[in-house]
Chains A and B, each alone.
Chain A
């Protein structure tokens, strides 16, 4: 049988009603290890904050394995009035990639909002990570845009990474 996947439709402005219950902004609540925070904003084509976006995260634990006891690796955060979001997690390890190579540590990100008929797919990579240079996904990204996927060290234990929907600094989004 060859069926075709159901078409996506926007989450609209009122998704909080249905999706808030599963919001998780501390992915490391039950996990040992050094925590780090990642914060940022979601900005539209006019540079205005998007106060009705939903960010979903999926990542491996520090050992590079997914969905392990004590660290589920799933996060969901709605943006605030300033388009801001912040979550706490553990830095993922390198995870298996294609052709037997490891991928650089990263977090898979989905972005949902009114005005997006399909969610956006992007990734967060980590600063000062030598493996970024050879990561099989990052090398597919035009060199001048790669920085949009790499978080910036804002303070000790605190990284910054934003979602810029349009324009010169537009975040790289993937066709998944």
Chain B
């Protein structure tokens, strides 16, 4: 096999470091010894293949998983998945999870004193189309307290997990909402040093995807790692 060019390494500051002391849980979990630079081999450059049949119809609508409608502000969340070269990433599996409108997760370990919503599970899945586009219907998640520091509150966010074309393009991230006053106080959001990269975690209010009488819209485009340009391609 010929040597492969591999994927581009992240520019400095555009990904969080493992150790970020303001986020207390990193202190006992971040590696302490030097990472070993891994060449990109077939094990990194291939990845699990999920077809359009990986999800069933309606899994992208979190408001229709129960007999009744969930409490909260109904929103459309959509966008496009691209690689670093600007090419759409089709057939990317997206798994999404979030708390309900009052800031409570349907999870046995979430003890926050806010009500569960019998009509909201908070789990959605979708596969991007030929243009890399995806869309979810959900309710806007609430903020909630956590014990990272005194009076710590997580800004409203939605968790996204993506599989791209390779195991190496695997991405788990969080989408935030514009204008949230909690963002400046949140160590998880602020863990990415590069300001431009950090601000891209905030979705845009998207007038075009609002639906009269039904839902507001937010746009969140996601960029997966792209192949290193080879000298041939550069010209």
Given contacts A17-B107, A95-B43, A173-B35, contact A119 B170 (CB under 8 A): yes
Interface string of B168-189 (1 = CB under 8 A from A): 1011111000000000000011
Q: Which residues of B contact A100 (CB under 8 A)?
A: 1
Cross-chain contact B31 with A173 (CB below 8 angstroms): yes
Given contacts A108-B167, A117-B188, contact A45 B28 (CB under 8 A): yes
Q: List 13 A-B contacts (CB under 8 A).
A: A6-B222, A6-B223, A9-B174, A18-B95, A58-B48, A103-B41, A114-B29, A115-B30, A116-B18, A116-B30, A117-B17, A117-B23, A140-B37
Cross-chain contact B38 with A6 (CB below 8 angstroms): no
| Secondary structure class of chain A's binding surface, majority of residues | loop
A22 and B99 CA atoms in complex are apart in Å by: 20
Selected contact of A110 from candidates B39, B41, B170, CB within 8 Å: B170
- Does B149 sit within 8 A of A, measured CB to CB? no
Cross-chain contact B84 with A4 (CB below 8 angstroms): yes
| Secondary structure class of chain B's binding surface, majority of residues | loop
Query: Size range of the interface on A?
Result: 35 or more
Given contacts A56-B170, A121-B38, contact A7 B16 (CB under 8 A): yes
Cross-chain contact B171 with A96 (CB below 8 angstroms): no
Interface residues of B in 70-129 (CB under 8 A from A): 82-86, 95-97, 99, 105-107, 109-110, 121-125
Within the complex, the shortest CB–CB distance from A155 to chain B, in Å, comes to 27
A13 and B147 CA atoms in complex are apart in Å by: 13
- Residue among A2, A7, A123 facing the most chain B CB atoms (10 A cut-off): A7
Given contacts A12-B159, A18-B123, A72-B48, contact A98 B41 (CB under 8 A): yes
* Cβ-closest chain A residue relative to B187: A117
